[in-house]
Amino acid sequence: MRLDFNAAWIAAVLLCSLRLSAVLMLAPPLQVMGLPVRVRMLFILALSVALVAALPPGPAPSPHDAPALLRAAAGELCTGALMGFGIHAAFAAFGFAGNALDLQTGFNIANLFDPVTHSQSPLLATLLGMVAVMLFFTLDMHHTLLRGFAWSLQRLPLGAPLPPPAPDAIVRQFGTLFTLGLMLAAPVLFCLFLLELALAVLSRNLPQMNIFVLGAPVKIAAGLALLAAMSGHIGTVARRVFDGVFDFWEAVL
Protein backbone atom coordinates (compact mmCIF):
# COMPACT_ATOMS: atom_id res chain seq x y z
CA MET A 1 0.00 0.00 0.00
CA ARG A 2 1.52 3.30 -1.13
CA LEU A 3 0.59 6.66 0.39
CA ASP A 4 1.08 9.76 -1.77
CA PHE A 5 0.81 12.78 0.48
CA ASN A 6 -0.42 15.42 -1.91
CA ALA A 7 -3.40 17.75 -2.01
CA ALA A 8 -5.52 15.43 -4.17
CA TRP A 9 -4.86 12.46 -1.89
CA ILE A 10 -5.74 14.50 1.23
CA ALA A 11 -8.96 15.71 -0.42
CA ALA A 12 -9.90 12.12 -1.31
CA VAL A 13 -9.25 10.96 2.28
CA LEU A 14 -11.38 13.78 3.69
CA LEU A 15 -14.24 13.01 1.29
CA CYS A 16 -14.06 9.32 2.16
CA SER A 17 -14.03 10.11 5.88
CA LEU A 18 -17.16 12.24 5.44
CA ARG A 19 -18.98 9.32 3.83
CA LEU A 20 -17.88 6.90 6.54
CA SER A 21 -18.51 9.30 9.42
CA ALA A 22 -22.16 9.70 8.43
CA VAL A 23 -22.48 5.91 8.76
CA LEU A 24 -20.23 5.06 11.69
CA MET A 25 -20.42 8.01 14.06
CA LEU A 26 -23.98 7.06 15.04
CA ALA A 27 -23.86 3.34 14.21
CA PRO A 28 -25.38 1.24 17.02
CA PRO A 29 -22.39 -1.19 17.19
CA LEU A 30 -20.02 1.68 17.94
CA GLN A 31 -22.50 3.37 20.30
CA VAL A 32 -22.92 0.33 22.51
CA MET A 33 -19.13 -0.07 22.77
CA GLY A 34 -18.96 3.37 24.37
CA LEU A 35 -16.07 4.59 22.23
CA PRO A 36 -15.17 8.27 22.72
CA VAL A 37 -15.77 10.59 19.80
CA ARG A 38 -12.04 11.13 19.26
CA VAL A 39 -11.45 7.39 19.02
CA ARG A 40 -14.26 7.07 16.48
CA MET A 41 -12.82 9.94 14.43
CA LEU A 42 -9.35 8.39 14.44
CA PHE A 43 -10.81 5.02 13.44
CA ILE A 44 -12.76 6.60 10.57
CA LEU A 45 -9.69 8.54 9.41
CA ALA A 46 -7.50 5.42 9.49
CA LEU A 47 -10.11 3.41 7.61
CA SER A 48 -10.43 6.17 5.01
CA VAL A 49 -6.66 6.20 4.46
CA ALA A 50 -6.67 2.43 3.94
CA LEU A 51 -9.62 2.53 1.52
CA VAL A 52 -8.28 5.42 -0.56
CA ALA A 53 -4.85 3.79 -0.81
CA ALA A 54 -6.28 0.40 -1.81
CA LEU A 55 -8.81 1.56 -4.40
CA PRO A 56 -8.05 3.08 -7.79
CA PRO A 57 -8.38 6.88 -7.96
CA GLY A 58 -11.78 8.19 -9.00
CA PRO A 59 -13.00 11.47 -10.44
CA ALA A 60 -12.51 13.41 -7.21
CA PRO A 61 -12.75 17.22 -7.53
CA SER A 62 -9.61 19.28 -7.55
CA PRO A 63 -8.59 20.47 -4.07
CA HIS A 64 -8.08 23.95 -5.54
CA ASP A 65 -11.73 24.18 -6.67
CA ALA A 66 -13.44 25.11 -3.40
CA PRO A 67 -17.08 25.20 -4.66
CA ALA A 68 -16.75 21.79 -6.32
CA LEU A 69 -15.08 20.40 -3.20
CA LEU A 70 -17.92 21.70 -1.00
CA ARG A 71 -20.52 20.18 -3.33
CA ALA A 72 -18.63 16.88 -3.24
CA ALA A 73 -18.46 17.01 0.58
CA ALA A 74 -22.21 17.59 0.82
CA GLY A 75 -22.80 14.72 -1.61
CA GLU A 76 -20.61 12.37 0.43
CA LEU A 77 -22.51 13.27 3.60
CA CYS A 78 -25.81 12.51 1.85
CA THR A 79 -24.43 9.22 0.55
CA GLY A 80 -23.25 8.24 4.03
CA ALA A 81 -26.56 9.25 5.58
CA LEU A 82 -28.42 7.09 3.06
CA MET A 83 -26.16 4.14 3.82
CA GLY A 84 -26.51 4.77 7.55
CA PHE A 85 -30.30 4.69 7.20
CA GLY A 86 -30.04 1.08 6.05
CA ILE A 87 -28.05 0.11 9.16
CA HIS A 88 -30.35 1.95 11.55
CA ALA A 89 -33.42 0.44 9.92
CA ALA A 90 -31.95 -3.04 10.48
CA PHE A 91 -31.48 -2.44 14.20
CA ALA A 92 -34.92 -0.82 14.34
CA ALA A 93 -36.39 -4.21 13.37
CA PHE A 94 -35.11 -5.61 16.68
CA GLY A 95 -36.51 -2.61 18.53
CA PHE A 96 -39.91 -3.11 16.90
CA ALA A 97 -39.94 -6.78 17.93
CA GLY A 98 -38.90 -5.92 21.48
CA ASN A 99 -41.56 -3.21 21.86
CA ALA A 100 -44.25 -5.59 20.58
CA LEU A 101 -43.19 -8.20 23.14
CA ASP A 102 -43.06 -5.60 25.94
CA LEU A 103 -46.59 -4.52 25.09
CA GLN A 104 -47.93 -8.08 25.29
CA THR A 105 -46.04 -9.16 28.41
CA GLY A 106 -46.58 -5.91 30.33
CA PHE A 107 -42.94 -4.88 30.56
CA ASN A 108 -43.70 -1.56 28.85
CA ILE A 109 -44.82 -0.08 32.19
CA ALA A 110 -41.13 0.23 33.20
CA ASN A 111 -38.20 1.57 31.20
CA LEU A 112 -34.47 0.92 31.30
CA PHE A 113 -31.55 2.88 29.87
CA ASP A 114 -30.78 1.50 26.42
CA PRO A 115 -27.01 1.74 25.69
CA VAL A 116 -27.66 1.25 21.96
CA THR A 117 -29.97 4.23 21.42
CA HIS A 118 -28.97 6.20 24.58
CA SER A 119 -32.63 6.51 25.53
CA GLN A 120 -35.17 4.94 27.85
CA SER A 121 -36.60 1.69 26.46
CA PRO A 122 -38.64 -1.20 27.87
CA LEU A 123 -36.90 -4.32 29.12
CA LEU A 124 -37.22 -6.66 26.12
CA ALA A 125 -36.57 -3.89 23.58
CA THR A 126 -33.31 -3.12 25.39
CA LEU A 127 -32.43 -6.82 25.57
CA LEU A 128 -33.07 -7.43 21.87
CA GLY A 129 -31.09 -4.29 20.99
CA MET A 130 -28.04 -5.65 22.79
CA VAL A 131 -28.61 -9.10 21.26
CA ALA A 132 -28.65 -7.43 17.82
CA VAL A 133 -25.24 -5.85 18.46
CA MET A 134 -23.86 -9.18 19.70
CA LEU A 135 -25.18 -11.03 16.64
CA PHE A 136 -23.78 -8.29 14.38
CA PHE A 137 -20.25 -9.24 15.46
CA THR A 138 -20.96 -12.95 15.93
CA LEU A 139 -22.24 -13.32 12.35
CA ASP A 140 -19.12 -11.52 11.05
CA MET A 141 -21.21 -8.64 9.77
CA HIS A 142 -18.56 -6.08 10.76
CA HIS A 143 -16.21 -7.53 8.13
CA THR A 144 -19.05 -7.63 5.61
CA LEU A 145 -19.71 -3.98 6.46
CA LEU A 146 -16.11 -3.06 5.64
CA ARG A 147 -16.38 -4.87 2.31
CA GLY A 148 -19.62 -2.98 1.71
CA PHE A 149 -17.80 0.32 2.24
CA ALA A 150 -15.17 -0.66 -0.32
CA TRP A 151 -17.92 -1.73 -2.74
CA SER A 152 -19.69 1.62 -2.30
CA LEU A 153 -16.52 3.47 -3.30
CA GLN A 154 -16.29 1.36 -6.44
CA ARG A 155 -20.01 1.69 -7.23
CA LEU A 156 -20.11 5.44 -6.47
CA PRO A 157 -16.59 6.95 -6.60
CA LEU A 158 -15.62 9.86 -4.40
CA GLY A 159 -16.97 13.13 -5.72
CA ALA A 160 -19.50 11.46 -8.02
CA PRO A 161 -23.06 12.82 -7.67
CA LEU A 162 -25.48 10.61 -5.77
CA PRO A 163 -28.30 9.38 -8.04
CA PRO A 164 -31.77 10.16 -6.68
CA PRO A 165 -32.80 7.13 -4.60
CA ALA A 166 -35.88 5.35 -5.84
CA PRO A 167 -38.76 5.87 -3.38
CA ASP A 168 -39.93 2.30 -3.90
CA ALA A 169 -36.54 1.02 -2.64
CA ILE A 170 -36.92 2.96 0.61
CA VAL A 171 -40.54 1.87 1.06
CA ARG A 172 -39.57 -1.72 0.28
CA GLN A 173 -36.82 -1.54 2.91
CA PHE A 174 -39.33 -0.38 5.50
CA GLY A 175 -41.72 -3.17 4.57
CA THR A 176 -39.05 -5.87 4.57
CA LEU A 177 -37.64 -4.92 7.95
CA PHE A 178 -41.15 -4.54 9.43
CA THR A 179 -41.89 -8.08 8.26
CA LEU A 180 -38.61 -9.45 9.64
CA GLY A 181 -39.13 -7.65 12.94
CA LEU A 182 -42.56 -9.23 13.19
CA MET A 183 -41.01 -12.62 12.40
CA LEU A 184 -38.69 -12.19 15.40
CA ALA A 185 -41.60 -11.76 17.78
CA ALA A 186 -44.34 -13.74 15.99
CA PRO A 187 -43.96 -17.10 17.83
CA VAL A 188 -44.10 -15.44 21.25
CA LEU A 189 -46.87 -13.05 20.25
CA PHE A 190 -49.05 -15.89 18.91
CA CYS A 191 -48.61 -17.96 22.09
CA LEU A 192 -49.36 -14.96 24.27
CA PHE A 193 -52.48 -14.30 22.22
CA LEU A 194 -53.66 -17.86 22.92
CA LEU A 195 -52.88 -17.29 26.61
CA GLU A 196 -54.98 -14.10 26.55
CA LEU A 197 -57.89 -16.11 25.11
CA ALA A 198 -57.51 -18.70 27.85
CA LEU A 199 -57.50 -15.99 30.51
CA ALA A 200 -60.58 -14.39 28.93
CA VAL A 201 -62.45 -17.73 29.07
CA LEU A 202 -61.33 -18.19 32.67
CA SER A 203 -62.52 -14.70 33.56
CA ARG A 204 -65.87 -15.40 31.95
CA ASN A 205 -66.41 -18.58 33.95
CA LEU A 206 -64.93 -17.29 37.22
CA PRO A 207 -65.91 -13.60 37.41
CA GLN A 208 -64.89 -13.38 41.07
CA MET A 209 -61.25 -14.06 40.17
CA ASN A 210 -58.95 -11.05 39.70
CA ILE A 211 -57.61 -11.82 36.23
CA PHE A 212 -55.28 -8.81 36.19
CA VAL A 213 -53.43 -10.00 39.30
CA LEU A 214 -53.34 -13.56 37.98
CA GLY A 215 -52.64 -12.75 34.33
CA ALA A 216 -49.67 -10.35 34.73
CA PRO A 217 -47.21 -12.85 36.28
CA VAL A 218 -48.47 -15.67 34.05
CA LYS A 219 -47.90 -13.62 30.88
CA ILE A 220 -44.46 -12.50 32.07
CA ALA A 221 -43.36 -16.04 32.91
CA ALA A 222 -44.79 -17.43 29.66
CA GLY A 223 -43.27 -14.63 27.58
CA LEU A 224 -39.78 -15.10 29.02
CA ALA A 225 -39.97 -18.89 28.70
CA LEU A 226 -41.12 -18.67 25.08
CA LEU A 227 -38.46 -16.09 24.26
CA ALA A 228 -35.79 -18.40 25.68
CA ALA A 229 -37.23 -21.34 23.72
CA MET A 230 -37.12 -19.41 20.42
CA SER A 231 -33.59 -18.02 20.94
CA GLY A 232 -32.26 -20.25 18.17
CA HIS A 233 -34.77 -18.67 15.77
CA ILE A 234 -33.36 -15.16 16.37
CA GLY A 235 -30.00 -15.82 14.72
CA THR A 236 -31.59 -17.01 11.46
CA VAL A 237 -33.83 -13.97 11.19
CA ALA A 238 -30.99 -11.65 12.24
CA ARG A 239 -28.87 -12.77 9.30
CA ARG A 240 -31.72 -11.95 6.93
CA VAL A 241 -32.12 -8.55 8.61
CA PHE A 242 -28.43 -7.67 8.21
CA ASP A 243 -28.31 -9.02 4.65
CA GLY A 244 -31.16 -6.65 3.85
CA VAL A 245 -28.84 -3.71 4.60
CA PHE A 246 -26.56 -4.58 1.69
CA ASP A 247 -29.51 -5.29 -0.60
CA PHE A 248 -30.71 -1.78 0.20
CA TRP A 249 -27.28 -0.30 -0.55
CA GLU A 250 -27.22 -2.06 -3.90
CA ALA A 251 -30.70 -0.71 -4.73
CA VAL A 252 -30.02 2.96 -3.91
CA LEU A 253 -26.38 3.43 -4.98
pLDDT digits (tens, 9 = 90+) for 61-87: 666 667 777 888 888 888 888 888 888
CA distance 40 to 29: 12
Beta-carbon count within 10 A of 104 CB:
21
CA distance 248 to 204: 49
Three-class SS state of 112: strand
pLDDT at 143 over 80: yes
Sequence-separated (6 or more) residues with CB below 8 Å from residue 168: none
Sequence-separated (6 or more) residues with CB below 8 Å from residue 162: 75, 78, 79, 82, 156, 253
Enumerate the domain spans of the chain.
78-252
118 CB-side CA count, 13 A: 9
114 CB-side CA count, 13 A: 28
Residue-level pLDDT at 89 = 83
pLDDT tens digits for 233-253?
888 888 888 888 888 888 887
CA distance 60 to 172: 32
pLDDT tens digits for 194-219?
888 888 888 888 777 777 777 778 88
Q: Phi-psi region for residue 210, left (φ > 0), alpha (ψ -120 to 50) or beta?
A: beta
CA distance 149 to 146: 5
Q: What is the pTM of this model?
A: 0.78
pLDDT tens digits for 84-102?
888 888 888 888 888 888 8
